[in-house]
Amino acid sequence: MIVKPKIRGFICTTAHPDGCREIVKSQIDYVKGKGKINGPKKVLVIGASMGYGLASRISAAYGCGAATIGVIFDKQGSGSKTASAGWYNTAAFEKYAHEDGLYAKTINGDAFSREIKDETIALIKKDLGKVDMIVYSLAAPRRTTSDGTVYSSVLKTTGGEFTNKTIDVKTGEVSEVTIPPATEQEIFATVKVMGGEDWKEWIGALKAADAVEDGAITVAYSYIGPELTHPIYKDGSIGRAKAHLAATAKEITKSISGVTAYVSVNKALVTQSSSAIPIVPLYISILYKTMKGMNLHEGCIEQMQRMFAEKLYGGSVETDDEGLVRMDDWEMRPDVQEKVSAAWNQIGSENLADYSDLDGYRRDFNMLFGFDAEGVDYEADTDIEVGIDSLT
């Protein structure tokens, strides 16, 4: 089949197997080129197929030589329907890892469910005995809890309405958007989905099954960002969930012996989940232009390789005063934020290219689904039914 992107709003409903493979390969090459990290050896990555989770898995495997088990929630290709990008990414990752003699297996299903936790723990016990690192990198719109209740997260403020600039990534039009406040019920549901409850359940279940090495580290990801995004992010419904996540890290460390939990505050980047947040895509476009201009730009793989090499396993774990790992250290540099803020005040549809890197944003978005990768013939017929080694 000849696969073309079909973009519907914030999502592309097709994915390109060869493109995904090339992008995974280039992430692997990047980590290999950075040299060995004295890090974990048996790593569980929950949410391993895209974005920060995939980059974490690649960094663990190729930086630290770790055996990895990834939990994903992806769809296989069949008939004329391509698989999800995460499926192709995982197929490619496993293929390369196995060629390179690395253990890599994958569990495909809802990470929030008890069944998938049990299945994953059984695999760890059978193949690895215990894990010494657990990465929790889920970004999900909803969660079904064990009693069958479905909670849906929202991206709203928690104060009053908030109006600011936003961009239509497709047309490049800058306009104003007004974000309504979330109800208490919506905030509660967002915390259920994106807060720390499920993370703690995972670590508790692993510990109860004696599947965690003493001295293990677990890390989950968060975002803070500059003041201009605070009403929609840090002080918004998602920010409440992230505050819960940070509190959960402390709880896990205190209540589950032998495990230290960290939250890493990562850089704002184009991923499937960040593209759905109003205002943020315009901020990211400006940030890209600014950080690329200052030679400070990083993508998911650069962020995660640096997190493993320098912040988590560079000797002692490096955190700020609140115990947070700060991978947003370059994004939040005052000289970066001064430029971003000046650009934010000036930007409009008419001068977009002067202040933002919308092309870079669009390219990164397309690349999430395997499009726009270098060296891939997008006019060529390709087999969309690609298997993941460990699932076949």
The whole-angstrom separation of Cα 12 and Cα 7 is 4
To ligand NAD, the closest distance from the beta carbon of 111 in angstroms equals 3
To ligand NAD, the closest distance from the beta carbon of 329 in angstroms equals 13
The whole-angstrom separation of Cα 333 and Cα 31 is 25
Nearer CB in complex with ligand NAD: 10/213: 10
State how far the alpha carbon of 189 is from the alpha carbons of 113, 144, 152, 197, 242, in Å: 17, 11, 6, 12, 13
The whole-angstrom separation of Cα 386 and Cα 392 is 10
| 233 carries an active-site annotation | yes
To ligand NAD, the closest distance from the beta carbon of 379 in angstroms equals 28
* Cα 109 versus chain centre, distance: 17
Joined tokens for residue 340: 């971003």
Nearer CB in complex with ligand NAD: 81/213: 81
To ligand NAD, the closest distance from the beta carbon of 287 in angstroms equals 10
Which residue is at the shortest CB distance from ligand NAD? 51
Q: Which residues contact 291 (CB under 8 A, 6 or more apart)?
A: 297, 298, 330, 331, 336
Binding site for ligand NAD (CB under 6 A): 47, 49-53, 71-74, 86, 110-112, 137-140, 221-223, 266, 268-269, 271-274
The whole-angstrom separation of Cα 203 and Cα 290 is 39
To ligand NAD, the closest distance from the beta carbon of 43 in angstroms equals 15
Secondary structure letter of residue 183 according to DSSP: P
Nearer CB in complex with ligand NAD: 258/336: 336
* Cα 121 versus chain centre, distance: 22
Nearer CB in complex with ligand NAD: 110/213: 110
Q: Which residues contact 78 (CB under 8 A, 6 or more apart)?
A: 385
Nearer CB in complex with ligand NAD: 39/51: 51
Nearest to 236 by CA among 289, 168, 295, 187: 187
Q: Which of 52, 96, 233, 283 is catalytic?
A: 233
The half-sphere exposure of 358 on its side-chain side, counting CA atoms within 13 A, is 19
Active centre residues (catalytic): 233
